[in-house]
A and B are shown apart, each in its own frame.
Chain A
Amino acid sequence: NAGVTQTPKFRVLKTGQSMTLLCAQDMNHEYMYWYRQDPGMGLRLIHYSVGEGTTAKGEVPDGYNVSRLKKQNFLLGLESAAPSQTSVYFCASTRTGGGNQPQHFGDGTRLSIL
């Protein structure tokens, strides 16, 4: 059982380039999340989804777009990358909603924007 898989693991981009980060989960979880983690900061929620075809903004959504066309996949897009988006990105999923659900994280994507 793979759990939550993120691709790619590492990426270097130039300012203005675009890219898509893929998150896939094989646990049939309804809810999926994208976070970013920066030095000296806690994880901050970018966007999340409560089911296939739905998305919602988190704490820091600007500069990112997401899509959840299939239940198992949650895509995070950067349309025009900026150096401020250099970060470690984590995807997570939960079986259902409610705050008592443990978050299952992927192992992260390290993104550098030059």
Chain B
Amino acid sequence: RKEVEQDPGPFNVPEGATVAFNCTYSNSASQSFFWYRQDCRKEPKLLMSVYSSGNEDGRFTAQLNRASQYISLLIRDSKLSDSATYLCVVFRGGSQGNLIFGKGTKLSVKP
């Protein structure tokens, strides 16, 4: 089992749709969790951290289930500008070299 697994997609959705991305991680001792966004041929940028209680930022909601080792990202009312690849990122703890990036899920929002 890969350490951080994501559905690669692509997810093709119409504007206004709600879309959910899932991510699983294998190391139960993982400490911190994030979603990054990466536009085509650009650098990754932090979208949001993921907290145990769940957290929301506008149209974006992130949730963490430590028991199932599962992270999710929900995007409501999708915009064309949401088209990007979404990276699930997990910090295993310990040294700074322990930040693990998933391969990403590609989202394409169509008019």
A: which residues have CB within 8 A of B?
Answer: 31, 33, 35, 40-45, 48, 50, 56-59, 90, 94, 97, 99-100, 102-103, 105-108
Contact = CB atoms under 8 A, between A and B. Distances in A.
B91 A43 contact: no
Secondary structure call for the A interface: loop
B32 A100 contact: yes
Contacts of A45: 97, 99
B96 interface: yes
B105 to A, nearest CB: 11
Nearest to B46: A102
A100 B49 contact: yes
Nearest to A97: B96
B41 to A, nearest CB: 8
Chain B interface residue number, banded: 20 to 34
Contacts of B62: none
Contacts of A107: 42-43
B10 interface: no
A110 B31 CA distance: 32
Given A42-B87, A42-B103, A42-B104, A103 B97 contact: no
A56 B102 CA distance: 22
A103 to B, nearest CB: 7
B99 A41 contact: no
B4 interface: yes
B47 to A, nearest CB: 10
B70 interface: no
A16 to B, nearest CB: 28
Contacts of B11: none
